[in-house]
C-alpha cells in the first residue's frame, strides 16, 4: 500500500515521459530507416518547436498558435533536410552525420541568441495542463493523455505506412535505397515526407513534454533527443513499434530511478539516500551500451550481414 | 610433396541456403590449383571459409598439417543443418582472418579492395605490418629504423617483380584495372605467405592482359616457391597453368583432376563448360 | 632506403620551425602586457593549443582510424579531474572540498617540491598530467572492450552515451570525497604558476607551458601516425576487410588507437584545467565534443596540421575576432539591436555549416602543412 503510493507518481510520469520520448523517437527511427542517418538535429527541432509555441502564443490565441507552431516545425524539418542533408546524399555517412551535428549546433546557438539564454515559460494549455488526482497522486492531465495520444498516433502512422502508396514507397526505400530509385520511386519526396512526419510528431511531442516542465531553454532538446534516439536503438532502429516500446521502457526506468532513493527507503532497503537520481540520465546510456553489445539490432530490429 | 591446405567436410549454410556443401579438397606444396564453377557455385564462400572471414557451419580446415578452423552446427542451425558429417566435429576453432594470414596464407579479392587513399608503395608496405616486431612505442620513436628500412627495400623489390616500381608513388586507385590486380597480388605477397589465394585475378581483363597474368602467376610460383590456389573464370588461364582443378556446382564438388581430365569430364561439360561455351 | 633521406631533411626543418615557434611564444609572453588589447592573442594561444591537442587526438581516431567516436568530452573530463585532484595543495584542500572530507590527500607537485625543490614541483605536475592521460586511457580500454565492436554510427552514439555516464558519475554526491560532487575543483596548479627566475628578471611561462604541452603530445601523434602502426590505422579506415585479410588485427589496432586517442584527450583535459583554473563536470558536455569535432572538420579530417589550424581559428574566431558581434560594434558597424549576446555563435555556426556543406574537405583536406610547401613527385598528378 505504502509502496504503491510511493511508486505510483514516478510510474505515472514515467509512462507520460515515455510517450513523449516515443513521439520524438519515431522521427529518429524513420529517418534512420531510410537514410541510415542519426539525425542529431531532431532533438533541437523539438526544442525549437517548444520555443515557437512560447513566442507564437505571446502574440495570438492558443488555438491559432498551436497549429501554426506545428506547421512551422514541419517546415523546419523539411528545410533542414533539403539544405543540410540532400546535398550530401552521395557523401560518406560520416559527412552527413557531421552535417547533422552542425545543424544541431546552429539551432542551439540561434535559440540562445533569440532567447538570450533565458528560460522561457511555456504557455499553460487549458485542459491538458490542469491539475488532476489519479489514485491519490496529484498530476497534470497531460500525464494521463500522453500515452493514449501517443498510441493513437502510432496506430495511425503504422496504418499509413502499411496501407498507403506513400507508406509502401517508404518501406521500399528503407529496404533498398538504390533499387527503390530504379523502380521509379521519387526518393527525395519520400525522404521529405519522412522528415515532415517526424517533425510533426516532434511538434506534438514538444507540446506534451513542455506542458510538464517549467520552461524551454536552448539546451532543452539535447537530452530528450538523445534519449529518444536511445529508445529507437533499444527497440531496434527502423522499427516504429520498437521505438515506442523502447521509449516507454526508458521513460519508466528513468523516472523510477529518479525516485529510487525514496522508494528503496520506504521499503527499508536503504537507510540513507544514495543520491541515485544523478544516474537517471546516465542509466539510459548504460542501457544503450548493454543493448548494443548484447543485441546490436535491438528488440525488434532486423539482422543485416556484410558482403565480402 | 606434402599437403599444405586441406579442407575437410566443410559446409557453409546461411539460414536454409547451403552455399558450400561438404567440400573436401587438398592443395599440395608448390602446386597451382584452380577452383572453378559457374557463378554462384560457392567458390568465394569457400575462400572465405578458408581465410576465416566466415566460420563454416560444419567441418574443418587444415594448414600445413595443423587444424586451423573447425566448427559444428550450433544454435538455430542445429535443427536446420542439412549437411553430412554432423557430430564429427566437436571443437570450435574460429581464428580471425588476420590470424590466418599470419600463419602464412594470403589472399586477393574478387572486387579489388586496395586501400584507396594510399600510394602503391604504401599499400604493399602496410601489408608487411603483420610481420613487424616493434611495438607501437618503439615504432613511434623510430627504434625500428632497421626493420623499417628492410621492409621498404623488400617493398621496392616486390614492386620491381610485379612491374609497378615506376608507379610506386601514384595513388593505388589511379592505376588501370590490370595493374590494380597486380598490386593486390603484390600486397598479398608482402605478408610473406606460403599459400597464395587468388580470387578471380583475371576478372575484367582483356585476352592479352590475361595472358600476361598467366605467365606472371607461373613466375610467382617459381621465384617465390609459392603454392597458388585460385578461383577463375577464364578457362584459357585455368587450363594453362593449373596442375589440378576442382569443379564446384551448387556448393558441391562435382569433379577434380588434371586439366585434361576436367576438359573431358561429362558432368563438368554439362554443368559448366558446355553452358559457358554456348554463351 | 626510399624516402628516408628526404624525410630526415623534412623532420629537421619541422624541428627547427617548432623551436622557433616555441621561442616566439616565450617572447610574446614577456612583451604583451595583460592590459594590452593583444593580450587576447595569448589567451587564444593558451586555449587554442589545448583544443588543438584535443582535436588532433580526436582526428587520430575519427580521421585516421575511421572510428567515429563522440566520447571525447568524457575522456577530457577524466583527465581534468585526475590532474586537479593530484595537484591541489594540502592547505587549499579543505576549502575546495568544503562539503566533503577529501579522500585523496596527496599532491604530486607538493610532495616532490618539498623533496626536490622547484624541479620536483615541475616533475610533480608532469606526473599528474601523465596520470590524467593514463586514467583516461585505462577507462578507454575498459569501455573499448564492448564498444569497439560496434559499427560506425552505433559506435558514435555509444561513446556519446558513455561520456554522459562519466559526467553523471563524477557529479554523484557519494563520490564527493574524491570528485567534490557537482562542485568545481580549483586552487590546483595553473599555468600562471610557471615562471623562470633568471638572476633578477622573471620570465613568465604562462603561455609557453600549454603550447609546449600540446606541441610535445601532437609531435608524438605525428610520429605514431607516420609509423607502421599509423599506416595500419589508415588501412583500417580505408578498408577494414582488406586490412584484416592482410594480417592486421582489427580489435588490437582499434583498441590501440582508441586508448592513445583517449590518453591525449585526458592530457588535453588536464591542460584545459590548467588553463581555466577550474575543473567542473558540468563543463564537459557533449557540446564540447561537437565543438572539437567541428574543429577537426574545419581543418580537414585526416590532417593533423589541419586540426591545429582548425582549433586555433575556431578559438580565435569565437573568443576574439567575432567578439564584436556580441557587444554591439563589429567592423565599425554599430547595431546593438542585432549585435547582441549570442550573435557571434550564430554567425559562427553558419560559417561551420557552409564549410560542412560546400568545403567538405576543410582547410587542409588530408594534406599536411609540409605538403603545401613542396611539390610531391607523382603524387600531385594522381588527381587528389
What is the rounded average pLDDT for all residues in chain B?
Answer: 89
Beta bridge partners of A133: A138
Q: What pLDDT band is residue C380 in, cutting at 50, 70 and 90?
A: very low
As given in the structure block, the three cell numbers for residue B224 are 617465390
- Answer whether C250 sits within 8 Å of B98, measured CB to CB: yes
Do B98 and B2 belong together in one domain? Answer: yes
List CB contacts (< 8 A) between C259 and chain B: none
pLDDT at B109: 94
Q: What pLDDT band is residue A216 in, cutting at 50, 70 and 90?
A: confident
The rounded distance, in Å, linking the Cα atoms of A201 and A25 is 9
pLDDT higher at C177 or A75: A75
Chain A nearest CA to C317, separation (Å)? 15
- Answer whether B118 sits within 8 Å of C378, measured CB to CB: no
Neighbours of chain B (3+ CB pairs under 8 A): A, C
CA nearest neighbour of C246 among B117, B97, B201: B97
CB A22 within 8 A of CB A154: yes
- Does A22 score more than 70 pLDDT? yes
- Does C10 score more than 80 pLDDT? no
pLDDT at A122: 87
CA nearest neighbour of A31 among A81, A92, A67, A65: A81
Dihedral sign for Cα atoms in the order B79, B81, B83, B85? negative
pLDDT at B277: 46
Do B61 and B116 belong together in one domain? Answer: no
- Does C1 score more than 60 pLDDT? no
Q: For chain C, how far is it from start to end, CA to CA, in angstroms? A: 26
List CB contacts (< 8 A) between A95 and chain C: 356, 360
pLDDT at C177: 87
Q: Which of residues 9-68 of B touch C (CB under 8 A)?
A: 51, 53
pLDDT higher at B124 or A142: B124
Indicate the pairing of strand A215-216 with strand A120-121.
antiparallel
The residue out of B137, B163, B192 marking a domain boundary is B192
pLDDT at C322: 80
Of these ranges, A43-47, B74-78, C97-101, the one predicted with the greatest mean pLDDT is A43-47
pLDDT at C376: 47
In A, minimum Cα distance to B199 occurs at A308
> pLDDT per residue over C127-172, tens digit each?
999 999 999 999 999 999 988 988 777 888 889 888 988 998 998 8
Do B56 and B130 belong together in one domain? Answer: no
3-state secondary structure A53-78: HHHHHHHCCHHHHHHHHHHHHHHHHH
Please tell me the total count of domains within chain B: 2
pLDDT at C223: 93
pLDDT at C382: 34
- Answer whether C234 sits within 8 Å of B117, measured CB to CB: yes
Chain C within 8 Å of B99 (Cβ-Cβ)?
A: yes
Q: Which residue has the cell 522561457?
A: A120
- Does A235 score more than 60 pLDDT? yes
High-pLDDT (> 70) share of chain B, %: 96
Rounded-to-10 torsion of CA A255, A256, A262, A266: 150
- Does A306 score more than 50 pLDDT? no
Maximum Cα interatomic distance, chain C, rounded to a whole number of Å: 66
Q: Between A and C, how many CB-CB pairs are < 8 A?
A: 135
Do B85 and B137 belong together in one domain? Answer: no
Q: Give the residue-averaged pLDDT of A124-146.
A: 79
The rounded distance, in Å, linking the Cα atoms of B143 and B120 is 25
Can you give the residue ranges of every domain in chain C?
40-284
Q: Determine the 3-state secondary structure of B132 from DSSP.
A: coil
Q: Determine the 3-state secondary structure of C62 from DSSP.
A: helix
Chain C within 8 Å of B180 (Cβ-Cβ)?
A: no
In B, minimum Cα distance to A305 occurs at B14
Chain B nearest CA to A238, separation (Å)? 23
- Answer whether B101 sits within 8 Å of C384, measured CB to CB: no
pLDDT at C384: 30
Chain A within 8 Å of B53 (Cβ-Cβ)?
A: yes
High-pLDDT (> 70) share of chain C, %: 93
Q: Give the residue-averaged pLDDT of C267-279.
A: 95
Do B152 and B179 belong together in one domain? Answer: yes
- Does B202 score more than 60 pLDDT? yes
pLDDT at C369: 77
Chain B within 8 Å of A94 (Cβ-Cβ)?
A: no
- Does A13 score more than 60 pLDDT? yes
Neighbours of chain A (3+ CB pairs under 8 A): B, C
List CB contacts (< 8 A) between C286 and chain A: 222, 226
Which domains, and CATH codes, for chain A? 2-294 (1.10.3470)
Q: Which of residues 98-137 of B touch A (CB under 8 A)?
A: 109
Q: How far is CA A208 from the centre of its chain?
A: 11
CB B5 within 8 A of CB B62: yes
Q: Give the residue-averaged pLDDT of C276-282.
A: 92
> pLDDT per residue over A26-57, tens digit each?
988 889 888 888 898 999 999 999 999 999 99
The rounded distance, in Å, linking the Cα atoms of A181 and A163 is 20
What is the rounded average pLDDT for all residues in chain A?
Answer: 86
- Does B137 score more than 60 pLDDT? yes
As given in the structure block, the three cell numbers for residue A176 are 533498398
CB B273 within 8 A of CB B241: no
pLDDT at C377: 44
As given in the structure block, the three cell numbers for residue A51 are 520555443
Q: Between B and C, how many CB-CB pairs are < 8 A?
A: 132
High-pLDDT (> 90) share of chain C, %: 47
- Answer whether C223 sits within 8 Å of B142, measured CB to CB: yes
Indicate the pairing of strand B105-107 with strand B195-199.
parallel
pLDDT at A8: 83
As given in the structure block, the three cell numbers for residue C254 are 582499434
Do B95 and B200 belong together in one domain? Answer: yes
Do B130 and B208 belong together in one domain? Answer: no
Residue A1, CB-side half-sphere exposure with 13 Å CA sphere: 0
> pLDDT per residue over A236-289, tens digit each?
888 888 899 999 999 999 998 888 888 887 777 777 777 777 788 888 888 888
> What is the H or E stretch that residue B18 is in?
strand B17-28
List CB contacts (< 8 A) between B44 and chain A: 308
List CB contacts (< 8 A) between A37 and chain C: 153
Chain A within 8 Å of B180 (Cβ-Cβ)?
A: no
Q: What pLDDT band is residue C255 in, cutting at 50, 70 and 90?
A: very high
Q: Which domain holds residue B184?
A: 112-192
pLDDT at B244: 94
The residue out of B173, B192, B211 marking a domain boundary is B192
Alpha helices (runs of H) in chain C, residue ranges in sequence order: 4-31, 39-59, 72-85, 90-96, 108-116, 118-147, 152-171, 176-179, 208-225, 228-238, 240-245, 250-276, 286-299, 304-319, 343-358, 369-373
Q: How far is CA B261 from the centre of its chain?
A: 24
List CB contacts (< 8 A) between C153 and chain A: 36-38, 93, 97
Do B28 and B127 belong together in one domain? Answer: no
Chain A within 8 Å of B81 (Cβ-Cβ)?
A: no
Do B6 and B83 belong together in one domain? Answer: yes
pLDDT at C373: 65
Q: What pLDDT band is residue C64 in, cutting at 50, 70 and 90?
A: very high
Do B185 and B218 belong together in one domain? Answer: no
CB C124 within 8 A of CB C188: no
As given in the structure block, the three cell numbers for residue B19 are 552455399
CB B237 within 8 A of CB B214: yes
CB C292 within 8 A of CB C72: yes
pLDDT higher at A228 or A281: A228
> pLDDT per residue over B141-159, tens digit each?
989 899 999 999 999 999 9
CA nearest neighbour of B7 among B39, B46, B53: B46
| pTM for the model | 0.90
Q: Which of B98-112, C313-327, C350-364 has the lowest mean pLDDT?
A: C313-327
Q: B interface mutation test: which of C7, C239, C246 has the most B CBs within 10 A?
A: C246
Given C174, C286, C356, which is nearest A274 (Cβ)? C174
Chain C within 8 Å of B98 (Cβ-Cβ)?
A: yes
The residue out of B192, B217, B232 marking a domain boundary is B192
Rounded-to-10 torsion of CA C294, C300, C302, C304: -90
Amino acid at each position: 500500500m505504502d509502496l504503491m503510493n510511493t511508486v505510483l507518481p514516478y510510474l505515472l510520469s514515467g509512462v507520460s515521459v515515455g510517450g513523449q520520448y516515443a513521439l520524438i523517437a519515431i522521427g529518429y527511427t524513420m529517418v534512420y530507416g531510410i537514410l541510415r542517418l542519426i539525425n542529431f538535429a531532431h532533438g533541437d527541432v523539438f526544442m525549437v518547436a517548444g520555443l515557437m509555441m512560447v513566442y507564437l502564443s505571446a502574440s495570438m490565441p492558443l488555438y491559432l498558435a498551436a497549429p501554426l507552431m506545428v506547421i512551422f516545425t514541419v517546415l523546419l524539418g523539411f528545410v533542414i533536410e533539403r539544405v543540410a542533408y540532400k546535398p550530401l546524399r552521395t557523401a560518406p555517412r560520416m559527412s552527413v552525420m557531421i552535417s547533422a551535428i552542425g545543424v544541431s549546433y546552429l539551432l542551439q546557438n540561434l535559440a540562445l541568441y533569440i532567447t538570450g539564454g533565458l528560460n522561457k515559460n511555456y504557455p499553460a494549455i487549458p485542459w491538458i495542463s490542469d491539475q488532476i488526482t489519479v489514485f491519490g497522486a496529484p498530476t497534470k492531465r497531460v500525464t494521463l493523455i500522453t500515452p493514449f495520444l501517443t498510441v493513437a498516433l502510432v496506430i495511425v502512422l503504422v496504418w499509413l505506412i502499411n496501407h498507403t502508396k506513400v507508406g509502401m514507397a517508404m518501406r521500399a526505400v528503407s529496404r533498398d535505397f538504390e533499387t527503390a530509385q530504379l523502380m521509379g520511386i521519387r526518393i527525395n519526396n519520400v525522404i521529405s515526407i519522412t522528415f515532415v512526419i517526424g517533425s510533426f510528431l516532434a511538434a506534438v511531442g514538444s507540446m506534451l513534454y513542455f506542458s510538464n516542465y517549467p520552461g524551454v531553454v536552448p539546451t532543452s532538446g539535447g537530452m530528450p533527443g538523445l534519449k529518444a534516439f536511445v529508445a529507437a536503438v533499444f527497440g531496434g532502429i527502423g522499427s516504429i513499434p520498437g521505438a515506442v516500446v523502447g521509449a516507454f521502457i526508458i521513460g519508466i526506468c528513468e523516472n523510477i530511478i529518479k525516485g529510487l532513493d525514496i522508494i528503496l527507503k520506504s521499503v527499508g532497503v536503504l537507510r540513507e539516500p544514495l543520491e541515485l537520481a544523478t544516474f537517471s540520465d546516465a542509466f539510459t546510456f548504460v542501457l544503450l551500451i548493454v543493448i548494443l553489445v548484447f543485441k546490436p539490432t535491438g528488440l525488434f530490429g532486423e539482422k543485416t550481414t556484410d558482403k565480402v | 610433396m606434402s599437403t599444405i591446405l586441406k579442407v575437410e567436410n566443410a559446409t557453409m549454410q546461411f539460414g536454409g541456403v547451403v552455399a558450400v556443401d561438404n567440400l573436401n579438397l587438398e592443395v599440395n606444396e608448390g602446386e597451382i590449383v584452380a577452383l572453378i564453377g559457374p557463378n554462384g557455385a560457392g567458390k568465394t564462400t569457400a575462400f572465405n571459409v578458408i581465410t576465416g572471414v566466415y566460420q563454416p557451419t560444419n567441418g574443418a580446415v587444415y594448414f600445413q598439417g595443423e587444424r586451423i578452423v573447425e566448427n559444428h552446427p550450433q544454435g538455430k542451425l542445429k535443427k536446420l543443418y542439412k549437411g553430412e558429417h554432423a557430430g564429427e566435429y566437436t571443437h570450435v576453432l574460429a581464428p580471425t582472418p588476420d590470424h590466418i594470414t599470419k600463419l602464412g596464407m594470403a589472399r586477393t579479392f574478387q572486387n579489388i579492395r586496395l586501400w584507396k587513399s594510399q600510394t602503391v608503395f604504401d599499400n604493399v608496405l602496410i601489408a608487411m605490418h603483420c610481420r613487424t616486431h616493434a611495438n607501437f612505442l618503439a615504432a613511434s620513436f623510430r627504434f625500428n629504423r632497421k626493420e623499417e628500412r628492410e621492409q621498404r627495400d623488400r617493398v621496392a623489390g616486390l614492386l620491381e617483380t610485379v612491374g609497378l616500381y615506376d608507379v610506386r608513388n601514384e595513388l593505388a586507385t589511379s592505376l588501370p584495372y590490370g595493374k590494380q590486380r597486380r598490386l593486390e597480388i603484390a600486397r598479398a605477397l608482402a605478408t610473406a605467405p606460403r599459400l597464395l589465394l587468388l580470387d578471380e585475378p583475371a576478372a575484367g581483363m582483356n585476352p592479352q592482359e590475361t595472358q600476361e597474368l598467366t605467365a606472371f602467376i607461373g613466375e610467382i610460383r617459381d621465384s617465390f616457391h609459392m603454392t597458388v590456389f585460385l578461383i577463375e573464370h577464364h578457362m584459357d588461364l585455368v587450363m594453362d597453368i593449373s596442375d589440378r582443378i576442382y569443379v564446384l556446382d551448387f556448393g558441391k564438388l562435382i569433379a577434380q583432376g588434371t586439366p585434361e581430365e576436367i576438359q573431358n569430364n561429362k558432368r563438368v561439360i554439362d554443368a559448366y563448360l558446355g553452358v559457358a561455351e554456348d554463351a | 632506403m626510399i624516402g628516408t633521406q628526404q624525410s630526415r631533411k623534412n623532420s629537421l626543418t619541422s624541428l627547427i620551425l617548432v623551436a622557433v615557434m616555441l621561442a616566439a611564444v616565450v617572447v610574446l609572453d614577456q612583451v604583451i602586457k595583460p592590459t594590452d588589447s593583444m593580450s587576447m592573442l595569448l589567451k587564444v594561444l593558451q586555449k587554442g593549443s589545448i583544443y588543438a591537442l584535443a582535436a588532433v587526438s580526436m582526428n587520430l581516431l575519427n580521421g585516421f582510424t575511421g572510428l567515429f567516436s563522440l566520447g571525447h568530452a568524457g575522456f577530457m573530463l577524466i583527465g581534468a579531474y585526475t590532474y586537479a585532484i593530484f595537484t591541489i595543495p594540502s592547505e587549499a584542500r579543505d576549502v575546495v572540498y568544503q562539503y566533503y572530507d577529501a579522500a585523496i590527500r596527496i599532491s604530486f607537485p607538493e610532495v616532490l617540491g618539498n623533496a626536490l625543490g622547484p624541479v620536483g614541483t615541475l616533475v610533480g605536475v608532469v606526473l599528474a598530467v601523465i596520470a590524467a592521460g593514463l586514467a583516461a586511457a585505462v577507462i578507454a580500454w575498459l569501455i573499448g572492450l564492448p564498444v569497439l565492436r560496434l559499427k560506425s554510427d552505433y559506435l558514435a552514439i555509444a561513446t556519446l552515451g558513455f561520456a554522459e555516464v562519466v559526467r553523471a558519475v563524477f557529479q554523484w554526491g557519494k563520490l564527493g570525497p574524491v570528485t567534490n560532487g557537482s562542485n568545481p575543483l580549483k586552487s590546483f596548479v595553473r599555468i600562471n604558476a610557471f615562471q623562470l627566475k633568471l638572476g633578477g628578471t622573471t620570465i613568465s611561462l604562462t603561455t609557453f607551458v600549454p603550447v609546449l604541452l600540446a606541441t610535445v603530445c601532437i609531435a608524438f601523434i605525428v610520429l605514431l601516425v607516420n609509423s607502421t602502426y599509423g599506416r595500419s590505422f589508415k588501412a583500417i579506415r580505408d578498408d577494414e576487410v582488406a586490412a584484416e585479410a592482410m594480417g592486421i588485427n582489427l580489435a588490437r589496432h582499434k583498441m590501440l588507437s582508441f586508448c592513445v586517442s583517449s590518453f591525449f584527450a585526458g592530457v588535453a583535459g588536464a591542460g584545459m584545467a590548467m588553463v581555466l583554473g577550474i575543473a567542473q563536470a558540468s563543463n564537459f558536455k557533449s557540446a564540447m565534443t561537437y565543438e572539437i569535432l567541428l574543429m577537426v572538420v574545419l581543418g580537414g579530417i585526416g590532417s593533423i596540421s589541419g586540426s591545429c589550424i582548425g582549433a586555433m581559428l575556431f578559438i580565435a574566431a569565437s573568443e576574439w575576432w567575432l567578439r564584436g558581434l556580441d557587444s554591439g560594434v563589429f567592423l565599425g558597424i554599430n547595431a546593438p539591436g542585432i549585435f547582441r549576446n549570442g550573435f557571434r555563435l550564430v554567425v559562427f555556426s553558419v560559417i561551420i555549416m557552409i564549410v560542412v556543406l560546400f568545403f567538405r574537405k576543410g582547410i587542409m583536406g588530408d594534406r599536411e602543412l609540409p605538403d603545401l610547401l613542396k611539390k610531391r613527385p607523382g603524387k600531385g598528378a594522381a588527381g587528389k
